[in-house]
Amino acid sequence: MEDEPHHCFSFLPTFLPLHILIYTPNPVLPEHSRTKSAAVFFHILTMIISRFLRRGILTSTSPTRRRSWWDHVTPALKDPINAVTDAFLADPCPYKINLGVGAYRDDKGKPVVLQRVREAEGKIGATNFLESTSTAISSKLVEESAKLIYREDSDVIKERRFIGIPALSGTSACCIFAEFQKRFYPDSTIYFPDPTWSSHRNIWGDAHVPGRTFHYYHPDSKGLNFVALIDDVKNAPDGSFFLLHPCAHNPTGVDPTDEQWREISSLFKVKNHFPFFDVAYQGFASGDVERDAQAIRIFLEDGHSIGCAQSFAKNLGLYGHRVGCLSILYNDKIQAVVIKSQLKQISNTMYGSPPIHSISLVSKILSNPNIKALWLKEVKVMATRIQIMRATLREALERLRSPLNWQHITNQVRMFCFSGLTPAEVDQLAKEFRIYMTHDGRISMAGVTTKNVDYVARAIHEVTASDRDTKILHNIGAYKVNTDICSTSLGTNKTRARGMNLAL
């Protein structure tokens, strides 16, 4: 690669828009235009000087800095959920609390490996996996997953009207479906509830399927905006694709009632929409796997042929093993073979198949009725602890005579709580109280324990009790503070990378 002559002003086109961003007038302070121009001039001067300095340093101490193929690659935005974990990990404070990631913790705040999983792991060991047994194990996983979600005695199972492939947990099940949808409905869109899990947009976006939203969460009631939801479903073009959370909606924890699901289902029938369910929390919402699948059962009763992405990350605690299932219901047997061939083809170019270790674990646990029964008990324990924490947190806030209504903590379902906290309040919690959560105010209840619930309640009360109205005005300022916190506590990659771009 040859060195291109550096032009010292070549960075200006990239730099100029940036300095405008930096110098956006603060809505609270009055404008000082002369000060602003002076600041801009000195900024440019600093850039020029530092550029020459940098060039001088580079040529004197390092080998010729070659142009890289990757110069035009910008740093990716940090994943919002992982960013919370990163900030938490970087914090040296001993009493920090992580209410970000949706992974279950016991009352000591420790991750849990289910007893059944440990036992199953012991049995699997490093077995000889012949290709043929691997196929058999995969089929078993699909069958057991389907039984779990569609119910063992349902027509769908009895008539084997499902086709499925093992997937790398829920994410990849959604991803494969998105690609499948794009392939056979290239002009279609997907409707997400507003809000939805942060990755959904990127999953369908990367498959080039545009995403739209339908009303879901009502910020005033902190419940379901059912009327607007029905309206949106009605107004969507016939035959649209919809992504639905059958239970424990992520991030709000707000679920429709059975009656509401019935109405949604019959409207879907009239409009001939395609329902795709993202099932990440079966068993985790109510503690009962059958109850949590009720929405799907309702749709099946109405004769819908649905699609389902199942994850075993939470309910089997197999987060790191990446195992789930994508299933699609069909009407005739020829279709089954065809659909399966296409799903396999899509997954073959992405990852081949999930690890056999993961598939075996799930297959072993679900296919043995005794082990499965014991597993269901463990799920209930986890779900119950979260229920208790919800109630405890709400009581604690009410005892502190918080002026706000915290009913939604126990109204919403289970792993997450959409607290209603503003981004500024979330930041304050992180900065002052070392409590970390995502900026949308989503609290992972799994991170709350009997030991820390009082502290969490006091902290939330503290940040919400002061005047909320003035805080909303300063939201723009608050967002700037956010990025600063991220840049400093997450390392200097972002700022360094920005510097790199400007040096081109």
- The label of the residue with tokens 């005005």 reads 473
Check residue 26 for interaction with other proteins (CB under 8 A). no
Q: Encoding tokens for residue 387?
A: 């229920």
Check residue 489 for interaction with other proteins (CB under 8 A). no
Closest CB to other proteins among residues 486, 497: 497
Q: Which of residues 216-275 bind other proteins (CB under 8 A)?
A: 237-239, 269-272, 274
At its nearest, how many Å lie between other proteins and the CB of residue 68? 4
| HEC per residue, 355-391 | CHHHHHHHHHHHHCHHHHHHHHHHHHHHHHHHHHHHH
Closest CB to other proteins among residues 63, 92: 63
Check residue 135 for interaction with other proteins (CB under 8 A). yes
Check residue 495 for interaction with other proteins (CB under 8 A). no
Among 46, 82, 257, 475, binds other proteins (CB under 8 A): 82
Q: Which of residues 200-219 bind other proteins (CB under 8 A)?
A: 202-203, 205-206
Please give the distance of CA 300 from its chain centroid, rounded to a whole number: 27
Check residue 127 for interaction with other proteins (CB under 8 A). yes
The window from 39-47, 327-335, 384-392, 396-404 that contacts other proteins (CB under 8 A) reads 327-335
Helices (H), 272-332: 289-292, 294-301
Closest CB to other proteins among residues 208, 399: 208
Q: Encoding tokens for residue 214?
A: 């339908």
Helices (H), 400-474: 407-411, 423-433, 453-465, 468-473
Closest CB to other proteins among residues 29, 70: 70
Check residue 352 for interaction with other proteins (CB under 8 A). yes
Cβ contacts of 424-428, under 8 Å, gap ≥ 24: 424/471, 424/474, 424/475, 424/478, 424/481, 425/463, 425/464, 425/471, 427/478, 427/481, 427/482, 427/485, 428/463
The window from 12-20, 226-234, 319-327, 391-399 that contacts other proteins (CB under 8 A) reads 319-327
The window from 44-52, 121-129, 282-290, 438-446 that contacts other proteins (CB under 8 A) reads 121-129
Closest CB to other proteins among residues 117, 293: 117
Check residue 145 for interaction with other proteins (CB under 8 A). no
Q: Which of residues 277-306 bind other proteins (CB under 8 A)?
A: 305
How many positions of this chain bind other proteins (CB under 8 A)? 99
Count Cβ atoms within 10 A of the Cβ of residue 364 and give its class: 0-12 exposed, 13-18 middle, 19 or more buried.
buried
Among 36, 344, 399, 431, binds other proteins (CB under 8 A): 344
Q: Which of residues 465-484 bind other proteins (CB under 8 A)?
A: none
The window from 25-33, 314-322, 406-414, 446-454 that contacts other proteins (CB under 8 A) reads 314-322
Cα distances from 404 to residues 190, 419, 463, 472, in angstroms, run: 36, 11, 12, 16
Check residue 357 for interaction with other proteins (CB under 8 A). yes
Closest CB to other proteins among residues 237, 369: 237
Check residue 184 for interaction with other proteins (CB under 8 A). yes
Q: Which of residues 91-110 bind other proteins (CB under 8 A)?
A: 101, 103
Q: What angle do CA 152, 412, 381 make, to 5 degrees?
A: 55
Query: Of how many residues is the chain composed?
Result: 504
How far apart CA 276 and CA 307 sit, in angstroms, is 5
At its nearest, how many Å lie between other proteins and the CB of residue 319? 5
DSSP E strands in 127-206: the ranges are 162-167, 190-194
Q: Which of residues 382-441 bind other proteins (CB under 8 A)?
A: none
Please give the distance of CA 275 from its chain centroid, rounded to a whole number: 20
How far apart CA 471 and CA 477 sit, in angstroms, is 10
How far apart CA 358 and CA 343 sit, in angstroms, is 20
Among 339, 379, 397, 435, binds other proteins (CB under 8 A): 339
Closest CB to other proteins among residues 68, 257: 68
The window from 286-294, 347-355, 400-408, 416-424 that contacts other proteins (CB under 8 A) reads 347-355
Q: What angle do CA 290, 191, 201 make, to 5 degrees?
A: 95
Check residue 171 for interaction with other proteins (CB under 8 A). yes
Check residue 362 for interaction with other proteins (CB under 8 A). no
Check residue 367 for interaction with other proteins (CB under 8 A). no
Pairing of strands 223-224, 190-194: unpaired
Check residue 347 for interaction with other proteins (CB under 8 A). yes
Check residue 134 for interaction with other proteins (CB under 8 A). yes
Closest by Cα among 454, 472, 470 to 462: 454
Check residue 60 for interaction with other proteins (CB under 8 A). no
Contact 379, 289 (CB under 8 A): yes
Residue 316 amino acid letter: L
Check residue 115 for interaction with other proteins (CB under 8 A). no
At its nearest, how many Å lie between other proteins and the CB of residue 166? 10
Cβ contacts of 66-75, under 8 Å, gap ≥ 24: 66/1, 66/3, 67/1, 67/2, 67/3, 67/4, 68/1, 69/1, 71/500, 71/504, 74/497, 74/501, 75/493, 75/494, 75/497, 75/498
Among 118, 220, 467, 470, binds other proteins (CB under 8 A): 118
How far apart CA 464 and CA 459 sit, in angstroms, is 9
Closest CB to other proteins among residues 28, 126: 126
Check residue 159 for interaction with other proteins (CB under 8 A). no
At its nearest, how many Å lie between other proteins and the CB of residue 161? 11
Phi, psi of 29 (to 5 degrees): -80, 150
